[in-house]
Amino acid sequence: MSYPKVESYKEYFQTKELKKLYNMYPKLFAPIPPILSVNNKSRIAIEIMSCDLGYFVKVLPALENRLKRSVDYIDWKKCCETSDGIKYLLNALGISTSRYRTLTTTKWKNQEEYERLCIHNILLACDRETFIKPETNLECAIKITPEHPLWPQPELGAPEHPFRYVVVEDGEVIANAGVRCILGIFEDNLWAMGVGVKPEWRRRGLGKIVSAAATQDVLDLGGLALWNTQADNIGSLSIAKSLGYETVSCHIMIPKYVVEEAITT
């Protein structure tokens, strides 16, 4: 299958994707964001999106005045792009962080527990210009397809990836990086990365090796490689940034559960 060639992630997102966002939310993104009220029934108390146009914020009415009083003094870049950005925001608003839990650090058992977690997604992108190929030999990363007998079990990643790069030890996959073309969403040559390493094999550079091999393959196809992770997933962010991935956008969602005390006082 052939795909349209995409040279630069900056050109792509600044021309196409930002225009799409701007059309969806006209005049909302700004360096000091305007504050929008959401429905009182929403389970999300504070939602923030960021991109090259700036930021925009949606908040429950009960927190609207509190946020407006602080909006000029909040470091929005720190809030959106650092691992403790949500804690920083809550502290700036005078809200206790005692109920602060994240998707990365908390094991949730059901939908109710999941809906009490703070979500802080960071989307990064890599192209031919930004890619940093590691000095480590990548030959141990083997390219496989779903028909291959070593295709990883579901716990290592979603099975819909058309190909993966894996590291094998004693006939077992111990690290893999899968890429999935999201052509149907963006109608362009964009590939989402998915990386997994067996717990007992972590901190040995294997995640970086398979990620680098998969990223190189995507770029050779003329595509953009995308990496989506949580802001406090330091290991994932470290691998991505070491390979030249750069932040494109951030999305924060703080559930009502976390700020209930501030709402009721």
Q: State if pTM tops 0.75.
A: yes
Question: Average pLDDT in the 125-149 region?
Answer: 88
Distance CA 75, CA 53 (A): 16
Structural domain range at position 141: 129-221
pLDDT at 195 over 80: yes
- Assigned domain for 48 exists: yes
- Assigned domain for 227 exists: no
- Assigned domain for 55 exists: yes
Question: Average pLDDT in the 117-142 region?
Answer: 91
**Do residues 97 and 160 both lie within one domain?**
no
- Assigned domain for 16 exists: no
Residues 6+ apart with CB under 8 A from 199: none
- Assigned domain for 17 exists: no
- Assigned domain for 164 exists: yes
H-run or E-run covering 206: helix 206-220
Q: pLDDT value at position 1?
A: 47
**Do residues 179 and 149 both lie within one domain?**
yes
**Do residues 260 and 183 both lie within one domain?**
no
**Do residues 116 and 77 both lie within one domain?**
yes
Helix 256-264 vs helix 61-70: angle between axes, to the nearest 10 degrees? 80
Provide the number of structural domains found in the chain. Answer: 2
Which range, of 43-47, 52-56, 148-152, averages the lowest pLDDT? 148-152
Question: Average pLDDT in the 140-151 region?
Answer: 84
With pLDDT > 70 as the criterion, what percentage of the chain qualifies? 86
**Do residues 135 and 94 both lie within one domain?**
no
- Assigned domain for 85 exists: yes
- Assigned domain for 231 exists: no
Q: pLDDT value at position 255?
A: 94
pLDDT at 208 over 80: yes
Q: For the chain, give the longest Cα–Cα distance.
A: 60
- Which CATH number do you get for residue 158? 3.40.630.30
Question: Average pLDDT in the 41-53 region?
Answer: 87
Residue 118 token pair: 């703070």
Question: Average pLDDT in the 122-148 region?
Answer: 88
**Do residues 107 and 70 both lie within one domain?**
yes
Query: What confidence category does residue 3 fall into, taking pLDDT thresholds of 50, 70 and 90?
Result: low
Residues 6+ apart with CB under 8 A from 19: none
Residue 89 token pair: 């925001």
